[in-house]
Amino acid sequence: MTDLLDPALWSLFITAGTLLGTFLARKRIGRAIGRMIFEAAPEFLEEFLWEEKVQAIEGKKVKVKVLREAVSAQLEALAPAMVTPILKSIKINVPKDLPINPKTGQIDLLAPIAAKLMRGGKITAFDLVSPFLPLAMQLGQTAAVKLQEFVGGLVGQKAATVKEKAPAVIVDPDALIAEAVR
């Protein structure tokens, strides 16, 4: 009987019970802790990253949120280390006949023709017309839309004149009786 009153035994039972209870409720405890962290994270980040300052914009003093100096210094220090591997991982496959002028690096409509000439190829009529095909397609689409609007307007005018000539349908019974009496 005195063994059950031993504080060391009770301490063992309490410790073992707590550990067993924690093990059995670990998922529920984890979810509760995760929920608390995710609910508090936006407010923490807002207070940690940003501060309000008064700046003059177009002659008016306005409160603006800006990064804290310590945070902006850390981001400026980390940015090159993070951006460089990202840029290196980007692979761009440049087509063989991309219309880029090698001297200026800008898009040039005559570059494919020049590249073909440099390779010793013969220029066809299609080579001369192909740089202007997208522009011609846009012009054709615009002309088709304008023509469609014009024809729709003509048909709409004829439909309006037909509606004017047709007798109006009278829905109101009193107006129908008054029309019949006249």
pTM, full prediction: 0.33
Predicted local confidence at residue 14, as pLDDT: 94
pLDDT at residue 55, as a whole number: 87
Residues of the chain predicted below pLDDT 50: none
Burial 103-117 (b: 16+ CB within 10 A, else e): eeeeebeebbbebee
Supply the Cα-derived Rg of the chain in whole angstroms.
Answer: 40
How far apart are the C-alpha atoms of 67 and 74, rounded to whole Å? 11
Contact by Cβ (8 Å): 37, 21? no
pLDDT at position 6: 84
